[in-house]
Chains A and B, each alone.
Chain A
Amino acid sequence: MNAQTHLLSVVLFLPLAGACAALLLRERPGASRAAGMVTAVAELAVTAALPLAAGPGPLRLVEDAAWITRFHARYTLVLDGLSWVLLLMSGLLFLLAVLVSRREAGARPGLFIACLLAIQSSAAGVFLARDLLLFYLFWEVQLIPMFLLIGAFGHEDSRRAAVKFFLFGIAGGLCMLLAVIGLYLLHGQATGAYTLALDGLRGTPVGSGTGLLLFAAFVLAFGVKLPVVPLHTWLPDAHTQAPAAGSLILAGVLLKTGAYGLLRWAVPLFPTAASAAMPVLLALGLAGLFYASCIAFAQTDAKRLVAYSSIGHMGLVVLALAVWNRISLSGAALQMVNHALSTGALFVMLGMLSERAGTREMSRLGGAWKRMPVFSGFFLLFAMASAGLPGLNNFVSELLVVVGAFKAAPWAGGLAFCAMVLTLAYVLRLVRRTLFGQAPPGSGEWADVDAREVLVLVLLAVPVIGLGLFPGPVLDLLRGPVAELAAQGMMP
């Protein structure tokens, strides 16, 4: 069912409109905060209501219009189950980000809210676009607001981290731009029909060498965002320096756009090159898992530790994409959502903790269990989710990925399983150092979480437990798109 609708444009541009409103209201902090709140709630509501507009049958909404005729680029938005799950997740995270950001926005809430909402618009564009140029535009544009968010509202060394983030992103992005243009020209020259639509570009006859080069350029761009291990060095800095809301969005949404790009674009566009490169991707995924886990174990900065754990979790996604079968892809898609929830929650909680303690060093934290019981309960829950405890969300997706990997490459599945044990080790270390042990002398009284913070944590905890116990509905939503993608990525 192809229902034509303008609702997708609403989802796409509503946050941008909110961002403009927040900027215009910048002289009145309360008003700009309210604008942000209203926009985030409205966006989540509209996103949640999208299936109602699609009617019965598998979820699919389409919007299509001419855009740049010179390049045969079209304004094509398509919503399917995968896009919807990711949109819903990002809608929730942005709402939470607006909620968390009361203190960090400082004297400039207008700019802060505007950056957040601008990122939301661009992320929605990434998840919805089915025209390569349109996708690229949204992909690239998200660098600007994130750069401002990290640099203007981050911690002590934030400007350097922001520039590093931008440079890594743009280096990958511009390589991809060349590849995009190259693919467009090659397709046009080979078939006589110039197009930038995803479905049109699939199956472009390219030589194996050229195909590998183009695929590598796409992987480079997405791999920087994901991040794949040798390209990850911007991430710990960006996470550590970003405000809590920024870390939440970075881990929860921006990293996902990288994984989504690989899943939706890179592999389906170049199935031959992707199968040739599969061992490399497999190795990169496993390397990420092990390397990040080992490095995470050695961290003293709590936020840095969680940042490295992020790299490990995304390594699992790379592994799943390298294996490319229906089980592993379902796992990868679910892992994107789960990682966003549990790691995002950890970043938010560390933000709350460091706001009280004035430090992120684990040696100067500790003893929270007695002083902040509610906080500690939630922290333990999210930490366990992150470690993959059965009954919580990450367990389901990690299991799916490992099972999928076993089917294709048993040794890889076995190694991935070992890496998950390592995860448990550093997560336990994090919990022990922050929650238990003696409170550092002279650290003063830390107030337990207040009502607003509890609301944020409950909003995160509900899906964490829900997805752990009843992943069925989400997996049903993902089934159709994943089957389609799995078929596209196969060798023809």
Chain B
Amino acid sequence: MTVPGPDLFPFAALAFGALAVFSLGAFLRGLPGWALSLVTLAALAAAAAPLTLPLPWPLLPAQVSGLSLAEGTTRFYMVLICSLTAGAVLFMQPYARDRGFEGDEIYALMLLATLGMLVLVAARDWMYFFLGLEMFSLPLYVLIGSRLDGRSIEAAVKYLIMGAVASSFLLFGIALIYAGSGTTDMVAGLAGAGLRSPVPLGVGLVLAGLGFKASLAPFHLWTPDVYEGAPAPVTAFLSTASKVAAFAALLRIFLLGGEALWPLLEPLVWGLAALTMVAGNLGALTQRSLKRILAFSSVSHMGYLLMALLAVPAVGPGPVLFYSAVYGLMDLGAFGGLALISPARRDLDDMESLDGLGRERPWGAGLLAVGLLALAGMPPTAGFMGKLVLFEAALSAGYVWLAVLGMAMAVLSIYYYLRPLTHLYMRPPAGTRARPSPTLAGAVAVGLVLAGLLAVGVMPGPLLDAARALAVP
């Protein structure tokens, strides 16, 4: 039986886009930053287009056995990652311009990282899997340090060391799976192997490696430090696209492992979900810095996602897809809003620096506020619908206690989401601050993310239907 080859066009679009941005930067030195960001956005759109539009023929058919775009979940995640990256690029443009580090390299590196994520998501061979993970990590090390000040370099080094540890876990896990199954093919290796030793141990190590990248507890301790030090739009990129990609890989292993691995994975994921929810929410409660709060909050949301992952055998991956999209949108809004209202010298961090910004910078602060409310799961934002889908999935799969724990944690989390809001809207401004000039990219980003958050919150039907339709294997 001949399997139709995947359409390589999305990957090619990103690779050539990155190349184009690099060359434009090298040969046309006077080119303004917004032009580069436009090229970047065009590349992302070109990558996502053949995945969303029903093309009758593949643009770049190829016989590559290790990549597959056949499953709906894969295509969903690829489009999602491209969209989240586009959002991060829009927030990046005004931010980098005002701080004087805008150049070809940040845009090209973002494209390369996205390429790595797409490879990871589409991988059906452990070699591609590892390649994808490394390809998206390497550009991120540079991006995190791109401001070239002490804090951002420190964060980059932290992420580098953590990434090296994660990679070694992953690589060792892959080696064990190969040793047990005798193939690097993910489909054959996971489905056929069952519990043949040492495949389960290998899967466990791969999960740990991905757990680092998706910051699941107990592998999450790097998250607050790195998020705090990285420039806010890079944090937005890191916390949305890269985490969603790592989670998509996790989901892939689950789907491929199927019933053979399920008895082994179920208690493990149950524990990870409970631990991640508790660690994320309790961690956030004691923080004083907004970026650290958001970092812990993103950890806790990974816990909620794990809860949806548990429900996959009962209700399918639809809820995971939906919540991934909602989560990406929410964190993009929160970090993006933070990026827009931060002063040029240093990102906003302690609560007092937020005082009165709701009045001074209504749109950026509004986006941050809506993002926070969405993360808190309040209607009429997407976060509420996400929570609804999530808990419905968990309850119908029979995980009542986990759902109760999740709800208790959600109540707890409200406290730390409200604190920034009280500072934004309920305190007088702390002295006069310089107002950065408004930009088109920032306005477009605010409009798109706000509209997305509210539209999914009020009319979640289309996204729900898409997630459900694509979740059918």
Binding site for B on A (CB under 8 A): 26, 67-71, 108, 111, 133, 136-137, 140-141, 143-144, 147-148, 151-152, 158-159, 162-163, 166-167, 170-171, 174-175, 177-178, 181-182, 184-185
Q: Can you add 5 more A-B contacts, CB < 8 Å, to A137-B380, A147-B421, A171-B411?
A: A69-B465, A108-B359, A151-B426, A163-B422, A185-B396
Q: Interface size for chain B: under 10, 10 to 19, 20 to 34, or 35 or more residues?
A: 35 or more
Q: Which residue of B lies closest to A189 (CB)?
A: B396
Q: What's the Cα separation between A182 and B400 when bound, in Å?
A: 9
Is B67 at the interface (CB under 8 A from chain A)? no
| CB-based contact B373/A144 at 8 Å | yes
Q: What's the Cα separation between A144 and B421 when bound, in Å?
A: 10
Nearest-neighbour CB distance to chain A for B381, whole angstroms, equals 9
Q: What's the Cα separation between A67 and B388 when bound, in Å?
A: 15
| CB-based contact B426/A144 at 8 Å | no
Query: What sequence of 0s and 1s flags, for each residue 429-473 of chain B, a beta carbon within 8 Å of any chain A beta carbon?
Result: 000000000000000000000000000000111001100100000
| CB-based contact B422/A151 at 8 Å | yes
Which 8 residue pairs across A and B have the least CB separation, nearest first? A151-B426, A70-B464, A137-B379, A152-B426, A141-B379, A159-B422, A171-B411, A170-B414
Nearest-neighbour CB distance to chain A for B466, whole angstroms, equals 11
A-contacting residues, B42-73, CB 8 Å? none
Nearest-neighbour CB distance to chain A for B76, whole angstroms, equals 16
Nearest-neighbour CB distance to chain B for A215, whole angstroms, equals 17
Complex interface: chain A residues within 8 A of B388 (CB): 71, 133, 177, 181
| CB-based contact B426/A185 at 8 Å | no
Q: What's the Cα separation between A159 and B377 when bound, in Å?
A: 21
Nearest-neighbour CB distance to chain B for A342, whole angstroms, equals 31
Task: Count how many pairs of residues, one from A and one from B, have CB atoms less than 8 Å apart in the complex.
Answer: 84
Q: What's the Cα separation between A177 and B387 when bound, in Å?
A: 10
Q: What's the Cα separation between A111 and B410 when bound, in Å?
A: 28
Complex interface: chain A residues within 8 A of B464 (CB): 68, 70
28 residue pairs from A and B, CB less than 8 Å apart:
A26-B362, A68-B459, A69-B461, A69-B465, A70-B460, A70-B464, A70-B468, A111-B425, A137-B380, A140-B379, A141-B379, A147-B418, A148-B425, A151-B425, A159-B422, A162-B422, A163-B418, A167-B418, A170-B411, A174-B377, A177-B388, A177-B391, A178-B391, A178-B403, A178-B404, A178-B407, A181-B395, A185-B395
Nearest-neighbour CB distance to chain B for A151, whole angstroms, equals 4
| CB-based contact B411/A174 at 8 Å | yes
Complex interface: chain B residues within 8 A of A177 (CB): 387-388, 391, 407
Is B16 at the interface (CB under 8 A from chain A)? no
Q: What's the Cα separation between A181 and B397 when bound, in Å?
A: 12
Nearest-neighbour CB distance to chain A for B232, whole angstroms, equals 24
Complex interface: chain A residues within 8 A of B421 (CB): 147
Binding site for A on B (CB under 8 A): 359, 362, 373, 376-380, 384, 387-388, 391-392, 395-396, 403-404, 407, 410-411, 414-415, 418-419, 421-422, 425-427, 459-461, 464-465, 468
Q: What's the Cα separation between A164 and B44 when bound, in Å?
A: 45
Complex interface: chain B residues within 8 A of A67 (CB): 459, 461
Q: What's the Cα separation between A140 and B468 when bound, in Å?
A: 27
Complex interface: chain B residues within 8 A of A136 (CB): 379
Q: What's the Cα separation between A184 and B419 when bound, in Å?
A: 34
| CB-based contact B407/A175 at 8 Å | yes
Complex interface: chain A residues within 8 A of B403 (CB): 178
Nearest-neighbour CB distance to chain B for A192, whole angstroms, equals 14
Nearest-neighbour CB distance to chain B for A450, whole angstroms, equals 29
Complex interface: chain B residues within 8 A of A163 (CB): 415, 418-419, 422
Complex interface: chain A residues within 8 A of B377 (CB): 174
Complex interface: chain B residues within 8 A of A167 (CB): 411, 414-415, 418
Complex interface: chain A residues within 8 A of B387 (CB): 177
Q: What's the Cα separation between A182 and B379 when bound, in Å?
A: 19
Complex interface: chain B residues within 8 A of A140 (CB): 378-379, 384
Complex interface: chain B residues within 8 A of A148 (CB): 425-426
Complex interface: chain B residues within 8 A of A144 (CB): 373, 378
Nearest-neighbour CB distance to chain A for B290, whole angstroms, equals 16
Q: Which residue of B lies closest to A169 (CB)?
A: B414
8 Å CB contact of B426 from A70, A159, A181: A159
Q: What's the Cα separation between A193 and B258 when bound, in Å?
A: 30
Nearest-neighbour CB distance to chain B for A121, whole angstroms, equals 10
Q: Which residue of B lies closest to A26 (CB)?
A: B362
Complex interface: chain B residues within 8 A of A162 (CB): 422, 426
